[in-house]
Amino acid sequence: MMKDYLVRGIVPSKNCRVFACQTTQLLEEARQKHGLWPTASAALGRMMSATLMLAAMNKNHEKMTVSINGGGPIGSMIATTNSDGKIKAFVANPEVHYTYNDTGKLAVGVAVGHEGNLQVIRDMGLKEPFVGTVPLQSGEIGDDFSYYFMVSEQTPSVVSVGVLVNDTNEILASGGFIIQLLPEATEEDIVYIENVMKDFPPVSSLIHDGKKPEDILRMLFEDVEILGTQDLYFECDCSKEQMKAALITVGKKEIQAMIDEDHGCEMTCHFCNQKYQFNEEELKELLLEM
């Protein structure tokens, strides 16, 4: 299996910058950790691909969190990365599966819903993080990110993200690409991009056919210049210490009840489903520390 990575490049002849990524392995890892059903896999995979490409747009390794809540059965979705190629993410309800009757395709927009927002929080190490919020367009994720770039960052962008799942729910392919117009883009550049997008195959089938991210960019633009690559992983940075801090916020009374009634407690990380046990002794120590 090929490792996941992202490439970024520019197309001077068409005045745009481009990103493409393959996220098959990291989505498969997320699927196994969270027990994602196919449409939930597709939603989270599209979101992680778009988030990783969004993060690749900034040069500083800032922390970036994207949350989507469209009011659909999947509930809220959150993805976080430090712009270092590592991402962690979850959906509130992983056991969600819908397909469209006419095409049989995974109905991501139905699972996610579109009565809500896409929010991007960028922590640039300043006092206040940058928060950009836009209403969801379709809940299909690609459209929603495209709208975010247009409205929140004033950058017209084509966002194509996709996921392919097999009969036993394993991830066959996941990834995507983004084309962003630079301010000097001309009417001809826009027409070129519109035309090339017209009959462009779904990105998930290209990846499934073995096309690498740079191959996909070359299919779009013959003269693309690749500027850099970055390996991508699903990786959570949770720890028992972190869980302890979360436990403290529960309050003394609750912790005392855990000691008296359950003689311990178990905490689960939302992002990776890792479970952390605290026994009676540890909870008593915690009470003393508080």
User: Which residues contribute to the site for Zn ion (CB under 5 A)?
Assistant: 236, 238, 269, 271-272, 274
Q: Shortest approach of Zn ion to residue 23 CB, angstroms?
A: 18
Q: How far is the CB of 268 from Zn ion (least distance, A)?
A: 9
Q: In three state form, how does the secondary structure of 145-206 look?
A: HHHHHHHHCCCCEEEEEEEEECCCCCEEEEEEEEEEECCCCCHHHHHHHHHHHHCCCCHHHH
152: exposed, middle or buried (Cβ count in 10 Å: 0-12, 13-18, 19+):
middle
Distance CA 89, CA 76 (A): 11
Question: Taking the complex as a whole, how short is the minimal distance between the CB of residue 68 and Zn ion, in angstroms?
Answer: 20
Smaller CB distance to Zn ion: residue 148 or 234? 234
- Go through the chain and tell me how many residues it has: 290
Closest CB to Zn ion among 80 and 180?
Answer: 80
Task: Provide, rounded to whole angstroms, the least separation between the CB of residue 270 and Zn ion.
Answer: 7
Q: Which is nearer to Zn ion, 16 or 269 (CB)?
A: 269
Please identify, using beta-carbon distances, which residue of 147 and 271 lies nearer to Zn ion.
Answer: 271
DSSP-H helix ranges across the chain? 24-34, 38-55, 108-112, 142-152, 187-198, 203-208, 213-220, 240-248, 252-257, 280-289
- Which of residues 90 and 145 has its CB atom nearest to Zn ion in the complex? 90
* Cβ nearer to Zn ion, comparing 57 with 92: 92
Q: 179 pairs with which residues across the strands?
A: 18, 158
CB 267 within 8 A of CB 278: yes
Give CA–CA dist 230/4, Å, rounded.
Answer: 9
Residue 78 phi/psi, 5° resolution? -135, 135
Q: How far is the CB of 7 from Zn ion (least distance, A)?
A: 28
Q: What residues are paired with 69 via a beta bridge?
A: 117
CB 74 within 8 A of CB 93: yes
- Min dist. Cβ of residue 26 to Zn ion (A): 14
| Smallest distance, Zn ion to C-beta of residue 121, A | 19
Q: How far is the CB of 288 from Zn ion (least distance, A)?
A: 27
* Minimum CB distance to Zn ion smaller for 16 or for 238: 238
Cα separation, 267 vs 246, whole angstroms:
9
User: Which of 226, 267 has the CB closer to Zn ion?
Assistant: 267
Residue linked to tokens 């393959």: 22
